[in-house]
């Protein structure tokens, strides 16, 4: 089973970095598997720790893929790292094993601290749709445009029926990103 999370890491200059990652759990360890090249991977190998943020603010997912990474953070408790203010819960991770690979290494972490901050309020279809659309945006270079359009058309139903303000904002950032990508491909000048 894969859970979609926001992983915060520390850049070489000490500043925070965040990116969405689907993580797996096995034998009590958390597995993060970044495709190379990845800033998160470099940071994880250097600092050997991370924070796993579990948030229902899908703007953080969409924002990470559309150049909006300035979300409120506070210091982690046990590891050197950063916790998203909007996290419903977070887990602090220490690297214990690296399964190296030229394409997609697997990094295994022990959970050294865990904290709940706010209750889970139930499933929301628009949030799920934004996560799916974020995955599409992270693969714009690889996917045929017709597939993206067909999936967006379906995902839009859940957004239109169930979104709140945060979900609409995230959704619109993603649509804008797709439009900019296509305009750049057509050779149009984006101001």
Ligand X SMILES: Cc1cc2nc3c(=O)[nH]c(=O)nc-3n(C[C@H](O)[C@H](O)[C@H](O)COP(=O)(O)O)c2cc1C
**Residues binding ligand X (CB under 6 A):** 4, 19-22, 33-35, 38-40, 61, 131, 134-135, 138
Minimum distance from residue 38 beta carbon to ligand X (Å): 4
* Strands 87-99, 29-32: pairing kind: unpaired
Measured between alpha carbons, how far is residue 162 from residues 17, 95, 126, 127, 139 in Å?
Answer: 30, 38, 6, 9, 25
Residue nearest ligand X, CB atom distance:
40
Decide whether 36 or 182 has the Cβ nearer to ligand X.
Answer: 36
Comparison of 22 and 77: residue with beta carbon closer to ligand X:
22
Query: Minimum Å distance from CB 51 to ligand X?
Result: 14
Q: How far is the CB of 15 from ligand X (least distance, A)?
A: 13
CB nearer to ligand X: pick between 102 and 191: 102
Q: Residue 162 CB, nearest distance to ligand X (Å)?
A: 19
- Cβ atoms of 30 and 111 within 8 Å: the answer is yes
Residue 41, beta-bridge partner list: none
Instruction: Find the shortest distance in angstroms from Cβ 103 to ligand X.
Output: 10
* CA dihedral for 16, 19, 25, 27, sign (positive or negative): negative
Please, which residues bridge with residue 90 across strands?
53, 115
111 or 131, CB closer to ligand X?
131
CB 164 to ligand X: min, Å: 19
**83 has which bridge partners?**
74
Q: Which is nearer to ligand X, 39 or 47 (CB)?
A: 39
Alpha-carbon distance 171 to 59, whole Å? 8
Residue closer to ligand X by CB (options 18, 187) is 18
Asked whether the beta carbons of 89 and 121 are under 8 A apart, the reply is no
Alpha carbon 69 to chain centroid, angstroms: 11
């Amino acid at each position: 089973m894969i859970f979609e999370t926001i992983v915060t890491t520390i850049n070489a200059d000490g500043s925070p970095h965040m990116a969405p990652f689907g993580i797996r759990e096995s034998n009590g360890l958390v597995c993060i598997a970044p495709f190379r090249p990845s800033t998160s991977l470099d940071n994880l190998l250097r600092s050997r720790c991370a924070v796993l943020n579990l948030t229902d603010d899908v703007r953080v997912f969409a924002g990470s893929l559309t150049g909006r990474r300035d979300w409120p953070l506070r210091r982690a408790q046990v590891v050197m790292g950063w916790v998203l203010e909007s996290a419903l819960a977070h887990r602090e991770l220490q690297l214990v094993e690296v399964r190296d690979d030229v394409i997609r290494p697997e990094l295994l972490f022990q959970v050294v601290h865990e904290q709940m901050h706010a209750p889970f309020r139930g499933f929301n279809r628009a949030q799920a749709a934004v996560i799916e659309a974020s995955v599409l945006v992270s693969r714009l270079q690889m996917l045929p445009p017709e597939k993206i359009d067909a999936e967006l058309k379906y995902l839009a139903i859940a957004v239109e029926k169930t979104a709140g303000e945060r979900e609409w904002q995230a959704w619109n950032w993603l649509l804008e990103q797709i439009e900019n990508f296509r305009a750049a491909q057509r050779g149009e000048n984006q101001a």
